[in-house]
Structure 1
Amino acid sequence: MKLSVVGIGPGGQDYILPFAQQVLADADIVIGYSYYFQFIQHLLKPGAVAVGKDLTEEEARAELAVNSCEPGKHVVVISSGDAGIYAMASLVYEYASKRPDKELDLQTVPGISAFIASAGKLGAPLGHDFCCISLSDLMTPWTTIEKRIFAAATGDFVTSLYNPRSKKRYWQLERFKEIFLEHRDPETPVAIIRQVTRPEEHITITTLQEFDTSLVDMFSLVMVGNSQTYQFKNFLVTPRGYLARKPQTGEEIQNESFRQITEQLHRDDVSVADQWAIIRCIHTTADFEYEDLYISNKDAISRWHEYLVNGGTVVTDVTMVQSGITKEFISRYNVNVYCYLNDPETIPLAEKEGLTRSQAGMRIAIAKHPEALFVVGNAPTALFELCDQFPGFNPAGIIGAPVGFVNVVESKLKLQAMKQVPYVIIKGRKGGSNVAASIVNAAFTVNTLGS
């Protein structure tokens, strides 16, 4: 008792595989959706019985096929495309598994699926990872389908849609478009392939934003590109990735890191200059929380850029901050960077006044460089000293990024209350010498954003 499930391709005669033609020619009974027989009737042998069923009678077709199997008879169930993709193979095998009394010789004969045929018509849309989703909720809960749509959208898969739209099921495709627009570029290429390989074949290429879902019906397949897909003439091309060389030089790696960071930012309440400083902080720490911890005032980063490129002065609380400021920038713009933590005057002053070394060093710096950009990346006592001495000096600004537990938060809150001074503050307990230096480097380079 032989039972074959045969994929007859998308409709065009050239798309019926030779193996499928051989199996059809051997069939005694052929069962399928009535509409499909027009494509294979000429391949059947004289006397073969053709049993046509309605579109919605999939289970009845599978049950009839299993029950029709008799010794010496070859029963064939036909499916469009590939019999194993959204087709009859799974139902036939399910029913066969429930009939252990029948010794069935089962086989699945593959066919060319509609999405494969459509990809051929479109050139090269499936050059990278792809998925297929059926929008029919007749057998699958819509909540499950929507999860798969979300996964495809966020995973950047080239996505082919089966059963995209019918007279009764029209809102599902609109919902698909809505979800994809939340996560994809509106200019993402979209193709509508109707009646692929058949005489009525028609292909429309558009974009996700301009995608008119009313053009789609049950004879259509919809294919949505990924973030790299582009239109070339009447084709869609999804790069395999080989032409996009991976970053190799230090500058290329850094720029690629900046690009990846930028894609994940969410704040829309900061200037471009502040966003650049945030990117530098995240790049230094690999910690995206810095986007929410970063606050500034008075267009500080842009103001400091003008100050620094005109030969400004920077004072740091510790040598680690001093070391983190890019030497090339210091040399190019003739900037002086001072740290008085280890200055000969610092220890005597600290002992005399009962100060920490960082605090004493900052007091000396204020006296010598009252108009400098002051950068604190370690010691909250240094930041307290700056706040306590103001308004006795006129700094270009203050970067408040000490790190730790004792008095760290309080020192930053005190600086935040000084509205007259341009500042950048990393809120909370986080910060550090590397972060403070990154903010200075951001001010140096804010003019390079266009490149």
Structure 2
Amino acid sequence: MKLSVVGIGPGGQDYILPLAQQVLADADIVIGYSYYFQFIQHLLKPSCVAVGKDLTEEEARAALAVNSCEPGKHVVVISSGDAGIYAMASLVYEYASKRPDKELDLQTVPGISAFIASAGKLGAPLGHDFCCISLSDLMTPWTTIEKRIFAAATGDFVTSLYNPRSKKRFWQLERFKEIFLAHRAPETPVAIIRQVTRPEEQITITTLQEFDTTLVDMFSLVMVGNSQTYQFKDFLVTPRGYLARKPQTGQEIQDESFRQIAEQLHRHDISAADQWAIIRCIHTTADFEYEDLYLSNKDAISRWHEYLTNGGTIVTDVTMVQSGITKEFINRYNVNVYCYLNDPETIPLAEKEGLTRSQAGMRIAIAKHPEALFVVGNAPTALFELCDQFPEFNPAGIIGTPVGFVNVVESKLKLQAMKQVPYVIIKGRKGGSNVAASIVNAAFTVNTLVS
């Protein structure tokens, strides 16, 4: 007792696979939707019995096929496209599994599915990950279908729609479009492929925004591109990635990181220069909270760019800040960077005045470089010293990003109150030497990398 489930392709004679033709030629009984027999009748032997059923009688077809199996008989169930994709194979195998009394010789003969045929007509829309979704809620709850639509939209899959629209099921496709527009660009390419491979074939390429759902019927397949899909002549192309490979060099990786960070920023109350400094801080820490913690005044980043690229002077509270400033920038612009934490004068001064080493080092630096850019990334006492000494010196600015718990917040609030001084502050307890150095590096590069 042989039972075959055969995919007869999307309709065109050239799209019926040779293996399917061989199996059909051997069939004693063929069962299928009546409409499909026009595509395969010429392949059947004269003695073959053709049993046509209505479109909605899938279960009856499966049961009839299993029950019709007898020794020496070859029963074939036909499906359009591929028999295993939204077709008869699963139902036939389910019914066969419930009939252990029948020793069935089962096989599934694959066919060219409508979405594969459509992809061929469109050129190269399936170059990357893709999925198929049926919009028919006759056997699947709409709540489940909607979850799958959302997953496809947010997952950036090229998406093919089966059973997209009928006279009674017209709102589902509109809902699909609504969900996709919430997560995809309006210019995302959309193709409507009607009667693919058949004489009546018609292909319409549009965009998600302009997609007219009334052009779609049950003889149509809808294909929506992903974020990289584009139209080329009458084709759709979804890049595989060879011409847009992942970043590999250090510079490419850094630039891609900056791009991804910029896409996720939300503040609109800051300048492009400040945004660039925020990007550098987030790149260093992988912490997007720095966007909200960042505070500046007096167009500080742009002013410091001019100051530094004209050979300015930088003073840091600790050597870690000094080490984090890119050496290429220092050398290119002949910038001097000083840290007096370990200076021979620092310890005697600290002991004499009852200061911390960071505080003493900053006092020495103020005396030697009163017009420098002062960068505090670690010690709140150093920041307090700068605030206490002002206005006895005239700095190019102050970066205040000490990190920790004791006096950290207070030192930043004191700097924030000094409205006359250009500053950048990371509010709260966060910050650190790496963040302070990132802000300096942002000032060096702002005119070339902010767009």
Q: Deviations over 1:82-120 (max 9, x none)?
A: 000111111111111112122222111100001110111
- The CA deviation at 1:392 is 4.3
Task: Give the whole-Å Cα distance in 2 for the aligned partners of 1:420 and 1:140.
Answer: 67
2:31–2:51 CA contact under 8 A, matched in 1: yes
The whole-number CA distance in structure 2 between the counterparts of 1:295 and 1:90 is 62
**For the structure 1 residues 55 and 268, does the alpha-carbon distance in structure 2 shift closer, same or farther, using more than 3 Å as the test?**
farther
Is the contact made by 2:190 and 2:206 (CA closer than 8 Å) also made in structure 1? Answer: yes
Unaligned runs of 5+ in 2: none
Q: Residue 414 of structure 1 aligns with which residue?
A: 414
Does the 8 Å contact 2:276/2:450 carry over to 1? no
State the shift of 1:166 in Å.
2.2
Partner-residue secondary structure (3-state), 1:343: coil
Say whether the 8 Å CA contact 2:302–2:443 is kept in structure 1: yes
CA gap 1:57/1:396 in 2 versus in 1, 3 angstroms: farther
Separation (CA, whole Å) in 2 of partners of 1:182 and 1:268:
22
Aligned 8 A contact 2:317 2:362 in 1: yes
Note if contact 2:29-2:51 (Cα within 8 Å) is conserved in structure 1. Answer: yes
Q: Cα RMSD between the aligned structures?
A: 2.3
CA distance, structure 2, for counterparts of residue 414 and residue 6 of structure 1: 79
1:25–1:422: structure 2 CA closer, same or farther, 3 Å change rule? same
The more displaced of 280-289 and 8-17 is: 280-289
Change (3 A) 1:322 1:194: same
* Greater shift in the superposed pair: 427-436 or 105-114: 427-436
Question: Are the structure 2 counterparts of residues 227 and 102 from structure 1 closer, same or farther at C-alpha, using a change threshold of 3 Å?
Answer: same
Moved more, 112-121 or 380-389: 380-389
* Residue of structure 2 in register with 1:79 after alignment: 79
Label 1:410 to 1:95 Cα distance change in 2 as closer, same or farther (>3 A). Answer: farther
With 279-288 and 350-359 compared, the bigger mean Cα shift is at 279-288
Structure 1 residues 266 and 43 mapped into 2: Cα distance closer, same or farther (>3 Å)?
farther
Instruction: Answer whether contact 2:7 2:82 (CA < 8 A) is retained.
Output: yes
Equivalence for 1:7:
7
Matched, 1:107 2:107: yes
Q: What's the CA shift for 1:450?
A: 5.8
Pair 372,142 (structure 1): closer, same or farther in 2 beyond 3 Å: farther
**For the structure 1 residues 298 and 80, does the alpha-carbon distance in structure 2 shift closer, same or farther, using more than 3 Å as the test?**
farther
Change (3 A) 1:273 1:214: farther
**1:299–1:167 CA distance, 2 compared to 1 (3 A):** farther
Label 1:405 to 1:68 Cα distance change in 2 as closer, same or farther (>3 A): same
Deviation (angstroms), 1:136: 2.0
CA contact (8 A) 2:273 2:450 kept: no
Asked whether the 8 Å contact 2:272–2:450 carries over to 1, the reply is: no
Alpha-carbon deviations, 1:6-50, whole Å to 9, x = none? Answer: 111011111011111122222222222222222122222224332
Secondary structure of the 1:9 match is coil
TM-aligned CA distance change 1:34 to 1:436, over 3 Å: same
Alpha-carbon distance between aligned partners in 2 of 1:443 and 1:52, rounded to the nearest angstrom: 77
CA distance in 1, matches of 2:432, 2:154: 34
Contact 2:377 / 2:432 at 8 angstroms: preserved in 1? yes
Please give the residue correspondences for 1:317-332 in structure 2 after superposition, counting only pairs within 5 Å.
317-332=317-332
TM-score by length of 2: 0.92
Kindly indicate whether the alpha-carbon contact (under 8 Å) linking 2:195 and 2:201 is maintained by their aligned counterparts in 1. Answer: yes
Q: What is the rounded CA distance, in whole Å, between the counterparts of 1:269 and 1:66 in structure 2?
A: 70
Bigger shift: residues 240-249 or 370-379: 240-249
Q: Look up the match of 1:338.
A: 338
Q: Give the TM-score normalised by structure 1.
A: 0.92
Query: CA contact under 8 A between 2:2 and 2:75: conserved in structure 1?
Result: yes
Q: Deviations over 1:185-226 (max 9, x none)?
A: 333222211111011111112222332222222211122222
Determine helix, strand or coil for the equivalent of 1:32: strand
Percent of matched pairs sharing the same residue: 95
Deviations 1:386-426 (A, max 9, x none): 23334444433322211223222332333334444333222
Deviation of residue 148 (structure 1)? Answer: 2.3
Cα separation, 2, equivalents of 1:169 and 1:410? 64
